[in-house]
Structure 1
Amino acid sequence: MDRGAEIGTIPEEAFSFDGYQVVRGEFFAHTFEPSITFCGSKLYVNMACLNKLPTVEYIQILVNQDTKKLVIRPCREDEKDSFRWCSNTAKRKPKQVICRVFFAKLAEMMNWDSSYRYKLMGKLISANQELLFVFDLCSSETYQRSTGADGKACAKRTPVYPAEWQNQFGLPVTEHQKQLQINIFNGFTVFGLKEDKISTSPQTPSGAEVRNP
């Protein structure tokens, strides 16, 4: 039996997704969706990330400078460029990780203002037999800073979105389906973030280790 007839739907053979846009998830409340935030030269994920990967304690961060994608990749503690993304307690909480040089490099690449807070929504995908969080650096929520009546700087609660989103709801259906088709080792760079002591060497900027896969 046709599934549509079974549930009482009206058949419409002429329907097409042409002209439709998938409304951006950023336009909805997304407390339970994975996110990563950059603020004050620190980064941290939300509880949704930890809940989706409840056994993961260490991660690597990968950045593709061509596609402007950021990937969080679970890994072992002893792997190069790994760092802890959660507290080392019975009740796990997101850990704020200092990343001065990494954030500065991202800000330069994306033309971000380093005094603002940037939040990226992501998706958990399976690629090359691995679970990965993928974030689009071009789709950030930007929280600007303003000066209050007391003269102190404070962060605004309402996000600012990219200007090109003003006259659209989201991406066309076909383009939307292609967004998360990635190759983990295609153009990605692995960043290891030093959480405590920062060392400096002639080859490596302080606060970050970089290696090209």
Structure 2
Amino acid sequence: MNEPEYRNAVQPSMILANAEMSETEDIEVDDSFFDDEIDVVRAEYASDSNEPTISFNNCQLYVNMVCIKKFPETDYVQFLINKTKKQLALLPCRGDERDAFLWRTINSKSGKRQPKYITAQIFSAMLFDYMGWDIHCRYRLIGKIKISRGIKLLVFELGSYRVFTKGSAAGSDTERSQGYFPDDWKGRFGLPYKEHDRIMEITTFKNYATISITDNNNTAPEDTTGEKVTDYENEITNPEN
């Protein structure tokens, strides 16, 4: 996106803001603001309560309700791993397709959809080893919807995550969290605004490998994470439908 295009994109909101200003306000015109040093702050640096997330803990993986609402008609998904880009993608699929797994269930009491805890010891071990993660910690990744070859999928950056660790005090169950991001993010708040739209290129399936997860239990396994699946609804203040 070049400078004129960026200005055209923000012009409607600027016009609205100017219309609400008093005629007596002193407004300074500064065309030099849009220079090469402007960064668009990454959404990953803010709260992820309204973002689709996936978590890994105790050989289990689970998504939040935002993910489920992104694909309201989807019961099954496949895992795709791009080892080159270090990305994990969830691809909606049919239940009879190979390597499909059930990612949501129906709450027996409320009748509402809810995420399903998936026990995947081998996959978790492979992923934690590949990423150099600590098996005693919980990891949460933020996802983004992308379109590839006309197919919508949910993509997570494996190098951008929040890790939760137990408190250092003896016997403490309190979790502490810290964010980790790719090395090339250091020193900038986000992408330069001129590159912001250009970076959002269509993701292809090249270099993706399908991960097979065997789970013979179609019901939610016992939760050993200390979290309740239904608590995810409390995290959502303005979910996208």
- If the length of structure 2 is used for normalisation, what is the TM-score? 0.70
Q: Deviations over 1:143-195 (max 9, x none)?
A: 123343xx3363524323248456432333355542553102x0001112122
SS of alignment partner, residue 93 of structure 1 = strand
Query: Runs of 4+ in structure 1 displaced over 6 angstroms?
Result: none
CA gap 1:92/1:181 in 2 versus in 1, 3 angstroms:
same
RMSD: 2.7
Question: AA paired with 1:58?
Answer: Y
Within-5 A mapping of 1:100-139: 100-139=121-160
Question: AA paired with 1:104?
Answer: A
Match for residue 62 of structure 1? 80
| Percent identity between the two aligned chains | 32
CA gap 1:138/1:17 in 2 versus in 1, 3 angstroms:
farther
What is the distance in 2 between the residues matched to 1:17 and 1:173? Answer: 9
Match for residue 160 of structure 1? 179
Q: Higher helix share goes to which structure?
A: 2
CA gap 1:111/1:12 in 2 versus in 1, 3 angstroms:
same
Question: AA paired with 1:121?
Answer: I
Question: AA paired with 2:210?
Answer: V
From the CA coordinates, give the structure whose radius of gyration is larger: 2
SS of alignment partner, residue 87 of structure 1 = strand
Within-5 A mapping of 1:1-213: 7=16, 8=18, 14-16=32-34, 18-89=36-107, 90-148=111-169, 151-152=170-171, 154=173, 156-162=175-181, 164=183, 167-174=187-194, 176-177=196-197, 178=199, 181-184=202-205, 186-196=206-216
What is the distance in 2 between the residues matched to 1:175 and 1:117? Answer: 33
What is the distance in 1 between the residues matched to 2:152 and 2:175? Answer: 34
Deviation for aligned residue 1:27: 2.3
Q: Deviations over 1:39-86 (max 9, x none)?
A: 111110000011111110000010000100110000000000000000
What is the distance in 2 between the residues matched to 1:53 and 1:139? Answer: 23
Question: AA paired with 2:36?
Answer: D
Question: AA paired with 1:161?
Answer: Y
Query: After the TM superposition, which of the residue ranges 24-33 and 38-47 deviates more from structure 2?
Result: 24-33
SS of alignment partner, residue 109 of structure 1 = helix
The one of the two structures with greater contact order (alpha-carbon pairs below 8 A, sep at least 6) is 2
- If the length of structure 1 is used for normalisation, what is the TM-score? 0.78
